[in-house]
Amino acid sequence: MDIRNVKTFVRVAELKSFTKAAEKLNYVQSTVTAQIKQLEKELGYSLFDRIGKRISLTVMGESFLTIAYELLHVTEKAENLNANSNDIRAVLRVGVSESLLISVFKDLIPEFKQKFKNVDLRIRSGHTVDLLEQLRQNDLDLLFVAKARNTDPDLKCYYARKEESVFVSSPTYEDMNGNNINIENIFKQNFIVTEREGMYYFYLTKLAAEHNAAIKDWIEVDNVLVIIELVKRGMGIAFLPEYLLSNEIKSGNLKKLNISASTDTYFSQILCHKDRWVTPFMEELINMLRAKRPERD
């Protein structure tokens, strides 16, 4: 049922005239006549009695008029839903890698909830591979991860920012206080590393292999906050994304080791399944991230 035909029917019923309804709707009269005939055909009954030059609602027409008003009211609510998106009641499921949740995403949560009080925000953290599979299986609506640029044809990227990983130590770490800090010297140090399945461990071992080195006396910890704390205590050095460490470096709790070594390029990205409609509140969350950390190549 075409809602335009319903609107035309209501206007004719209110004005009791096809001609006046056509003028009000900016139609030619033949269009109004055709729309009413189409609506009557779909409904299976006549809406108007046409006696001479006068028209009046049939008994069925009077009953349908009440329904027509309800249809137009519901349609108006549907059409205004986007404009009133702050009032939407919904659930938003977001997957976020641990490092981005700690350093970036957590700061977006208060602002988002302030604007969308009726949206239940459900955040899942985990390994990138697991989160990607959950996104593909429709168990997540959005995914915010750091990885190589997306090439999956089933996933669409809505935000991408080139990131960098850096070596850090405590300011007093004894083997890193001299001037002889180079890539060969780095791999003679004790390392505190992320889990072996993680991207940063992969990049670190790849970099070591390129320089015919191996990671020495490492401690493996599946929690970046614990790694940072151990590095601050002088237990060793770490290789982690700079966005995660910037505040600690700025405050002097960690020392960035300026090593000239090229590593694989990766991006923090917001991904969504290509077939999923991006709702107004999903779009606003993406815009909040862009405002906080602009995209860059």
Q: What is the pLDDT of residues 182-199, one digit of tens each?
A: 787 888 889 999 888 888
Q: Which of 80, 113, 129 is the last residue of a domain?
A: 80
Indicate if 241 and 180 belong to the same structural domain. Answer: yes
Number of domains the chain contains? 3
Residue 230 to residues 6, 168, 224, 225, Cα–Cα distance (Å): 70, 11, 10, 9
Tokens of 42: 């779909």
181 within a domain of the structure (yes/no): yes
Would you say residue 79 has pLDDT above 80?
no
Tokens of 281: 């509140």
Q: What was the pLDDT predicted at 233?
A: 92
Would you say residue 177 has pLDDT above 80?
no
Would you say residue 101 has pLDDT above 90?
yes
Convert the pLDDT of each residue in 115-134 to its tens digit: 998 899 999 998 888 999 99
Number of neighbours of residue 289 by Cβ within 10 angstroms: 23
Which residue carries 């003028």 as its tokens?
23
Tokens of 175: 């083997």
- Domain CATH code at residue 61: 1.10.10.10
Q: What was the pLDDT predicted at 72?
A: 86
Can you give the residue range of the structural domain that contains 45?
Answer: 3-80
94 membership: H or E segment, kind and range: strand 90-96
Would you say residue 180 has pLDDT above 60?
no
- Domain CATH code at residue 99: 3.40.190.10
Would you say residue 250 has pLDDT above 90?
yes
Indicate if 174 and 241 belong to the same structural domain. Answer: yes
Tokens of 210: 């390129």
pTM: 0.70
297 within a domain of the structure (yes/no): no
Tokens of 61: 């027409």
Q: What was the pLDDT predicted at 265?
A: 82
Number of neighbours of residue 59 by Cβ within 10 angstroms: 10
Q: What does the longest C-alpha to C-alpha distance in the chain come to?
A: 105
Q: What was the pLDDT predicted at 217?
A: 79
Q: Which of 56, 80, 104 is the last residue of a domain?
A: 80
Indicate if 174 and 222 belong to the same structural domain. Answer: yes
Indicate if 102 and 182 belong to the same structural domain. Answer: no
